[in-house]
Structure 1
Amino acid sequence: MTAQLYVFDLDYTLLAADSSTCWCRYLAENRLVSDPAGFLAREKELMEAYDRGQMDVHDYIAFSYGAVKDKTAAELDALCKDYVQSTLPELMFPQAKALVSKLLEAGEHCVVISASAAMIVRQAAALFGLKDVLAVECEIKDGYYTGNISGLPPFKAGKVDALKAYQQKHGLEKAKVHFYTDSINDLPLCLAADQVSVVNPGAALLKEAQQRGFEVLHWTLH
């Protein structure tokens, strides 16, 4: 019997928001950055570039971690835990919660793959009961996050490489891959997966879904 592997994007797929943007808002609202308004304005610019498929993930990580470089990694991890627990539960799509719970109860293999920082993604995934995470690992030096990315980030085509490495590590090279995403940036992994479900897709991804026969899901918070 062929093994099944269920792969989930995080932002706007499992969650009805972008976890990185929400983290930046948390930092600004709690005045943990020196110029909250300017910080959020720059974050908005970067996310608009992301939506156009033009953002460099290295730039985003350097920006977001650079703004809190006075905090140790341990301090940031603790702040991130508070952020995730206080902000994200109400942003979990009920349909995503139900699907993931059903899959886990059936013993299916599930993994979250995201171009957001692993510090955030691991804790957000845990809200769904998901332990396996492929995300952007940030370098730590002398107890501080440097703002540099460690290894290759799972972004755009990098998600394909990250998932292949994960499959090899877990003996899942021949597994049937079911992929859930909202983003046109994930088209490379959509094309590599065996079955694709797009969640509330934008115009570009919806067009691809209609042409390629991807399942289209409309998830809401209520």
Structure 2
Amino acid sequence: MNLALFDLDNTLLAGDSDFQWAQFLIERGALDRELHESRNLEFYEQYKAGMLDIHEFLDFQLKPLARHSRSQLDVWHSEFMTKKILPLITINARKLIEKHRLDGDLCIIITATNSFVTAPIAQALGINNLIATEPEQKNGEFTGKVSGIPCFREGKITRLENWLDEHNLTWLSFLQSWFYSDSLNDLPLLRKVTHPVAVDPDATLKNHAEQNNWPVISLR
């Protein structure tokens, strides 16, 4: 058996679901535009530059979940999927997933974006296994805090290895492993797999891929 890992934002999606979710809430009037839009853009630029403080960002990103009931959030997310996410899923992304599925590979989406935002996206992509940052919940409602280790940078390796252990697997369970990502933030996990692939990469990752003879592809 082989392992196929997929980053989500700007990899399988031609855009960033985390950023789009905050923008969607602003457009719906659930967040104050003046207070949140510039901050959302600032965090996005920090992420792209590899300078994001993940805990500061999660404090910003998860608090809005605690201000609204889960039922209201679910209604908004359904609209969010239709308006913001489905247009970002490319034919080539679906073809790549299908190739690995037909090869019998274990397919996992591994993303820093929280599981409330990403679980329905993984479902829409036909991938049952999701490793994401987990928002804390109490009595079915979000607290605005993170639960456990954020699935970001080296945290992706930790979260993946914990997931494998829970499923009685290790790296040695796989003859080959792939990880598809666009971001310099994913270099730690890209270095762990046998087949790192840069997908529509940022400048830093593209340069690193070219220096190390990693494939560079586009799904756009």
Normalised by the length of structure 1, the TM-score is 0.92
Partner of 1:24: 22
Separation (CA, whole Å) in 2 of partners of 1:77 and 1:92: 20
Partner SS state of residue 65, structure 1 = helix
The letter of the residue matching 2:120 is Q
The Cα offsets for residues 120-160 of structure 1, whole Å up to 9 and x where unpaired, read as 11111111101100001001134431221101111001111
Q: 1:10 touches 1:112 (CA, 8 Å); kept in 2?
A: yes
Paired AA for residue 119 in structure 1: F
Indicate conservation of the 8 Å contact 1:118/1:138, yes or no: yes
Q: Could you tell me which runs of 5 or more consecutive residues in structure 1 were left unpaired when the two chains were aligned.
A: none
Q: Which amino acid aligns with 2:117?
A: I
Q: Is 1:169–2:166 an aligned residue pair? A: yes
**Partner residue in 2 for 1:149:** 146
8 A contact 2:26–2:36 mirrored in 1? yes
Equivalent residue number for residue 7 of structure 2: 9
TM-score between both structures, scaled by the size of structure 2: 0.92
Q: Aligned with 1:152: secondary structure? A: coil
Contact 1:25 1:40 in 2 (8 A): yes
User: Do the aligned partners of residues 102 and 16 (structure 1) sit closer, same or farther apart at CA in structure 2, a change above 3 Å counting?
Assistant: same
Matched, 1:56 2:47: no
Runs of 4+ off more than 4 Å:
none
| Aligned residues between the structures | 217
| Aligned-pair Cα RMSD in Å | 1.5
Q: What CA distance in whole angstroms lies between the structure 1 residues aligned with 2:34 and 2:196?
A: 38
Counterpart amino acid of 1:11?
D
Partner amino acid, structure 2, of 1:103: H
Paired amino acid for 1:179? F
| Inter-partner Cα distance in structure 2 for 1:70 and 1:22 | 18
Q: Report the structure, 1 or 2, having the larger helix content.
A: 2
Structure 1 residues 36 and 14, CA, compared in 2 at 3 Å: closer, same or farther?
same
User: What's 1:133 paired with?
Assistant: 130
| Cα displacement (A) at 1:37 | 3.2
2:207 partner amino acid:
K
Deviations 1:153-173 (A, max 9, x none): 110011111111222222331
